[in-house]
């Protein structure tokens, strides 16, 4: 049996409460309510997945998932605040205010391929609603460190693989045959890169080896799902390390092909430096609990490909610099949709933000002055600062736009060479007084 093959016949290794570091004090009170309610009604109930892993690592998990032998309809009967979701994977969400506890039913999985689940010709899972026992449910889990079950009945941890050892050695290892598991769900390759970046784990050699060869399978994954995974990779506080892992395993090309091509021809390191600086800025914002937006992320990733295409369009069509930039934005954003779908509510303001980089160069007149009140000004200004730090925008220009924001309105007008205050428009409304009555005819 493979080292990561679930011990379905021999049973799990059970680590009693005194021999592990997971305490109920580290678990959300709402997750405990769900666990205890399931247990009190005769069901098995386990905390499972990242919550167990993170507590063992000394982290404070944000999400807590529960696994049980209760079917989704049974879970819904136990909790009034429960909603069943999902078609591909049917599961229950038990809501406590803003906190949602996800409850999944043990699923049957056999050896991961030869079972009753529905697969595509390439081996990808299409349907997985066949319920089973806990020793079969292990196949739902991707990595050993995500397959540790905390039993609320006696506070022990059940380990069907090498999960506890891999947590201790900080190793990310797929359960079962890596090639088969990647074929089942190609997104597991991106998850391997993400967890390795997030946890600062090494990927086990046998789990890492097939990734470069099987990366092509990601082309068959719906762009909307890849978009969701992209946000998890780059907007969770470990964007720079995720970027490094994606490059290491040649996976970036399946998310941002134009960016990967720009990096491949980046002889001076300009593109690499710009992206890393932009991602480090995103990480700082996440760690400071400041908002981040896909608009800025995609601008960082696509800026150099868009700029290169705009230069070519301007030369070939003799269009203005701004027109060429807009055309380049439209073309590349449209092509990006085939890889990671990018909602228009982010792509449209991104275009505004990038065009403003050209408009920042003009510092005279009312049009330049109006940029200060543009709804994209702050994002565009932050992007200008990023470009200045990387040496592709004049630092003096960035300093000027920084200083002008601190001036009072009168001084701002002088800075933009506006001599006269704007004239007040005369109201075109008629007097509100009622008209005088006309004399009777």
DSSP 181-213: HHHH-THHHHHHHHHHHHHTPEEPHHHHTTHHH
What pLDDT, on the 0 to 100 scale, is given for residue 440? 40
Catalytic residues: 63, 65, 142
Shared domain for 246 and 151, answered yes or no, is: no
Q: How far apart are CA 199 and CA 58, in angstroms?
A: 11
Q: How far apart are CA 161 and CA 178, in angstroms?
A: 14
CB 113 within 8 A of CB 180: yes
206 inside domain:
no
What pLDDT, on the 0 to 100 scale, is given for residue 86? 85
Shared domain for 116 and 32, answered yes or no, is: yes
91 sits in which H/E element: strand 91-96
Shared domain for 257 and 153, answered yes or no, is: no
Per-residue pLDDT of the chain (441 residues; tens, 9 = 90+): 456 666 545 689 999 999 999 999 999 999 999 999 999 999 999 999 999 999 999 999 999 999 999 999 999 999 999 999 987 678 999 999 999 999 999 988 644 444 445 555 555 555 556 788 999 999 889 999 999 999 999 999 999 999 999 999 999 999 999 999 999 999 999 999 999 999 999 999 999 999 999 999 999 999 999 999 999 999 999 999 999 999 999 999 999 999 999 999 999 999 999 999 999 999 999 999 999 999 999 999 999 999 999 999 999 988 899 999 999 999 999 999 999 998 999 999 999 999 999 999 999 999 999 999 999 999 999 999 999 999 999 999 999 999 999 999 999 999 999 976 656 666 555 545 555 544 443
The count of structural domains within the chain is: 2
Shared domain for 145 and 228, answered yes or no, is: no
CB 326 within 8 A of CB 355: yes
Can you say whether residue 191 is alpha, beta or left, with left for phi > 0 and alpha for psi between -120 and 50 degrees? alpha
What pLDDT, on the 0 to 100 scale, is given for residue 46? 98
102 sits in which H/E element: strand 99-105
386 inside domain:
no
CATH code for the domain in which residue 308 is found: 1.10.3090.10
383 inside domain:
no
Last residue of a domain, one of 359, 394, 428: 359
Q: How far apart are CA 204 and CA 304, in angstroms?
A: 34
**Among positive and negative, which fits the CA dihedral 196, 199, 202, 206?**
negative
What pLDDT, on the 0 to 100 scale, is given for residue 123? 54
**DSSP H helical ranges for 239-320:** 239-248, 252-255, 257-264, 270-287, 294-317
Instruction: Report residue 83: phi and psi, to 5°.
Output: -135, 135
CB 163 within 8 A of CB 5: no
215 inside domain:
no
396 inside domain:
no
400 inside domain:
no
Task: List all residues 6 or more positions away from 237 whose beta carbon is below 8 Å from its beta carbon.
Answer: 198, 283, 286, 287
153 inside domain:
yes
Shared domain for 27 and 167, answered yes or no, is: yes
Domain hosting 24: range is 13-176
Shared domain for 293 and 153, answered yes or no, is: no
Q: What global pTM score does this model have?
A: 0.86
Q: How far apart are CA 353 and CA 330, in angstroms?
A: 14
- 298-to-240, 333, 335, 347, 404 alpha-carbon distances in Å: 14, 9, 13, 8, 28
Residue 172's Cα: distance from chain center in Å? 20
Shared domain for 169 and 307, answered yes or no, is: no
Shared domain for 135 and 230, answered yes or no, is: no
Last residue of a domain, one of 359, 388, 411: 359
Last residue of a domain, one of 141, 176, 211: 176
Shared domain for 90 and 170, answered yes or no, is: yes
Instruction: Report residue 152: phi and psi, to 5°.
Output: -70, -15
**Among positive and negative, which fits the CA dihedral 20, 23, 28, 31?**
positive
Q: List beta partners, residue 102.
A: 65, 93
Shared domain for 255 and 125, answered yes or no, is: no
CATH code for the domain in which residue 52 is found: 3.30.460.10
Shared domain for 246 and 306, answered yes or no, is: yes
425 inside domain:
no
């Amino acid at each position: 049996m493979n080292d990561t093959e679930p011990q379905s016949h021999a049973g799990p290794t059970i680590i009693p409460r005194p021999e592990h570091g997971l305490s109920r004090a580290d678990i959300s009170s709402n997750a405990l309510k769900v666990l205890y309610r399931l247990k009190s009604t005769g069901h098995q109930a386990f905390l499972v997945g990242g919550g167990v892993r993170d507590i063992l690592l000394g982290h404070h998990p944000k999400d807590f998932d529960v696994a049980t032998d209760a079917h989704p309809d049974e879970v819904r009967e136990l909790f009034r605040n429960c909603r069943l979701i999902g078609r591909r994977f049917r599961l229950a969400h038990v809501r406590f205010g803003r906190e949602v506890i996800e409850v999944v039913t043990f699923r049957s999985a056999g050896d991961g391929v030869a079972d009753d689940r529905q697969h595509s010709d390439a081996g990808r899972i299409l349907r997985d609603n066949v319920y089973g026992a806990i020793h079969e449910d292990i196949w739902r889990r991707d990595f050993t460190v995500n397959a540790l079950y905390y039993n609320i009945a006696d506070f022990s941890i059940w380990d069907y693989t090498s999960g506890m050892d891999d947590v201790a050695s900080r190793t990310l290892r797929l359960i079962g045959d890596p090639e088969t598991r990647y074929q089942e769900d190609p997104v597991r390759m991106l998850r391997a890169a993400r967890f390795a970046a997030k946890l600062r784990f090494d990927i086990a050699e046998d789990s890492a080896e097939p990734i470069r060869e099987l990366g092509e399978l990601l082309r068959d994954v719906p762009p909307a799902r890849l978009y969701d995974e992209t946000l998890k990779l780059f907007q969770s506080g470990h964007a720079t390390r995720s970027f490094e892992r994606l490059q290491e395993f040649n996976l970036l090309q399946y998310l941002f092909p134009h960016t990967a091509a720009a990096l491949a021809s980046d002889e001076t390191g300009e593109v690499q430096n710009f992206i890393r600086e932009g991602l480090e800025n995103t990480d700082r914002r996440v760690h400071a609990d400041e908002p981040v937006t896909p608009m800025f992320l995609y601008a960082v990733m696509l800026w150099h490909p868009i700029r290169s295409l705009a230069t070519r369009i301007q030369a070939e069509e003799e269009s203005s610099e701004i027109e060429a930039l807009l055309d380049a934005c439209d073309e590349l954003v449209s092509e990006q949709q085939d890889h990671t779908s990018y909602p228009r509510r982010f792509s449209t303001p991104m275009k505004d933000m990038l065009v403003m980089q050209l408009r920042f160069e003009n510092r005279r007149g009312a049009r330049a002055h109006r940029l200060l009140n543009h709804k994209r000004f702050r994002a565009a200004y932050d992007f200008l600062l990023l470009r200045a730090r990387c040496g592709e925008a004049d630092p003096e220009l960035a300093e000027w736009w920084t200083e002008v924001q601190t001036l009072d309105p009168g001084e701002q007008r002088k800075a933009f060479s506006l001599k006269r205050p704007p004239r007040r428009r005369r109201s075109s409304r008629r007097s509100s007084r009622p008209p005088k009555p006309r004399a009777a005819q």
